[in-house]
């Protein structure tokens, strides 16, 4: 997995011309020629080596995959807007899933040559060295990454209310534009938690295993395991910070039903 992902990144992610050949899928939702080229390359390489394993990739829709079986889940460029604008913070995210569980994971940031890997029961690693989530247990000391769900502008009110309320309780927040890297950075102890509503499976399938194998916790906003839902509102981080975030609002908010900023407010006290 690492060899295929690294080769794909070095072939395509530094092509600034292809990065500007884009197609608009929706508000803030773009696909570049780099996305398409990487997905095709990785699909072909995996199919040649593992012809019996199914493939789910972002750039050719929600394919006819048997989610009870074994399948690859690929986001060819997580952080496409970053790529298009020359912000060197994008990654290839590849996971091997068996039913509802991620079994192997790779998240590669080529600009820093950082290869995050995990295998169930064998820990998480960065460039071959073990990593672990931070020891932060106090919300007031926590650095928390957030996402703005840019493809769901109708959720801007509730989402930004949540972000503001989290900001008021933690040390500070960050917004990077890549869910896969946010989760990888949680696994490496750089962030203490990350939360975002309506995250696609290909954005988090690898990252959640990185966090789990690094000693962290990932749940949806109802406090449940993510499973293999195509879209989930997620929170991930150190077990203590995830518990505190859930205590503050995750049991109170259903972002798919919230219809006002007030519906997403955290309780005080």
Q: What is the pLDDT of residues 71-111, one digit of tens each?
A: 999 999 999 889 989 999 999 999 999 999 999 999 999 99
111 in Cβ contact with 91 (< 8 Å): no
Tell me the per-residue pLDDT of 180-196, one tens digit each, with 9 for 90 and over: 999 999 999 999 999 99
Q: Tell me what pLDDT residue 30 has.
A: 59
DSSP E strands in 79-222: the ranges are 91-98, 101-109, 114-119, 124-126, 129-131, 143-146, 172-174, 193-200, 217-220
Q: Is 139-264 CATH 3.40.190.80?
A: yes
**Residue 204: what are its φ and ψ, rounded to 5°?**
-125, -5
- Report the mean per-residue pLDDT for the chain: 87
E-strand stretches of 120-264: 124-126, 129-131, 143-146, 172-174, 193-200, 217-220, 231-237
Least-confidence region, from 18-22, 75-79, 173-177, 205-209: 18-22
For the full predicted model, state whether its pTM sits above 0.85. yes
Residue 257 has a pLDDT of 39
Integer Cα distance of 52 and 192 in angstroms: 38
pLDDT in tens, 217-239: 999 988 899 999 999 999 999 99
Q: Do domains 2-131 and 139-264 have the same CATH topology?
A: no
Q: Where are the domains of the chain?
A: 2-131, 139-264
| Predicted local distance difference test score (pLDDT) of residue 250 | 57
Contact criterion met (CB below 8 Å) for 226 and 208: yes
CA distances from 146 to 18, 34, 170, 246 (A): 29, 26, 12, 15
- The CATH homologous superfamily of the domain defined by 2-131: Fructose-1,6-Bisphosphatase, subunit A, domain 1 (3.30.540.10)
What share of the chain has pLDDT > 90, as a percent? 68
């Amino acid at each position: 997995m690492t060899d295929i992902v690294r080769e794909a990144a070095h072939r395509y992610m530094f092509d600034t011309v292809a990065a500007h050949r884009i197609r608009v899928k929706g508000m803030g939702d773009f696909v570049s020629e780099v996305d398409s080229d990487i997905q095709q390359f990785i699909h072909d390489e995996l199919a040649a080596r593992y012809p019996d394993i199914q493939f789910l990739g972002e750039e050719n829709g929600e394919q006819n995959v048997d989610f009870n079986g074994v399948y690859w889940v690929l986001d060819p460029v997580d952080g496409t807007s970053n790529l298009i604008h020359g912000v060197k913070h994008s990654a290839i995210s590849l996971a091997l899933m068996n039913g509802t569980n991620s079994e192997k994971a790779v998240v590669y940031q080529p600009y820093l040559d950082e290869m995050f890997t995990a295998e169930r029961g064998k820990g998480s690693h960065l460039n071959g060295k073990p990593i672990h989530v931070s020891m932060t247990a106090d919300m007031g000391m926590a650095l928390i990454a957030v996402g703005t769900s840019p493809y769901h502008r109708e959720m801007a009110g509730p989402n930004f209310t949540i972000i503001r309320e989290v900001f008021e309780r933690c040390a500070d927040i960050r917004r990077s534009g890549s869910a896969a890297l946010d989760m990888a950075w949680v696994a490496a102890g750089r962030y203490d938690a990350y939360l975002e509503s309506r995250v696609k499976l290909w954005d988090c399938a690898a990252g959640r295993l990185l966090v789990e194998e690094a000693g962290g916790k990932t749940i949806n906003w109802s406090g449940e395991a993510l499973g293999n839902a195509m879209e989930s509102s997620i929170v991930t981080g150190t077990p203590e910070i995830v518990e505190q975030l859930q205590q503050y609002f995750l049991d109170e908010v259903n972002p798919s039903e919230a219809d006002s900023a007030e519906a997403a407010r955290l309780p005080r006290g």
